[in-house]
Amino acid sequence: MKKLFENPDRGFKMDFDHKSAMNELEQKARDIFRRLDKQIEILEAIESSVDSKLAAFERLMQMSDSMNCSTGGVNRRIEVMALSHKGLHLEEIASVLGMQCGEVELILNLNL
């Protein structure tokens, strides 16, 4: 099933075999799909890696939050003592740190 096509730009005729053209197109399509499948596999591996790293990051953030909560009292005591050493009175320390006067007094008495 050959047809002749005339190329108006060059003024010559060429044979065009539909079967060979179709086979060539099918081969190129298979090659493209093979490359796409490889790219999809790579992207899925990257996605899996990102998911596991995100989960690890979230665990670390939770650990960090819990550590900050547990050391918050230590930092508060240090702040109270630092302000006391600067000469601030109990009420001033409580106001600056947003704490109850009784809490500041307790910290000061425990650290005498």
Q: Would you list the DSSP string of 16-28?
A: EEHHHHHHHHHHH
Please give the Cα distance from 110 to 34 (Å, whole number): 73
pTM: 0.42
User: Residue 94 in contact with residue 101, Cβ under 8 Å?
Assistant: yes
Q: What is the pLDDT of residue 2?
A: 47
The two tokens of residue 61 are: 């953030």
**Looking at per-residue confidence, does 24 or 12 come out higher?**
24
Number of domains in the chain: 1
Q: Which domain holds residue 14?
A: 2-110
Burial class (CB in 10 A: 0-12, 13-18, 19+), 104: buried
pLDDT tens for each residue of 28-63: 999 999 999 999 999 999 999 998 888 888 888 777
Task: Please report the pLDDT score of residue 111 as a whole number.
Answer: 80
Task: Note the pLDDT of residue 105.
Answer: 93
Report the SS3 class of residue 99. Answer: coil
The stretch 95-105 carries a mean pLDDT of 91
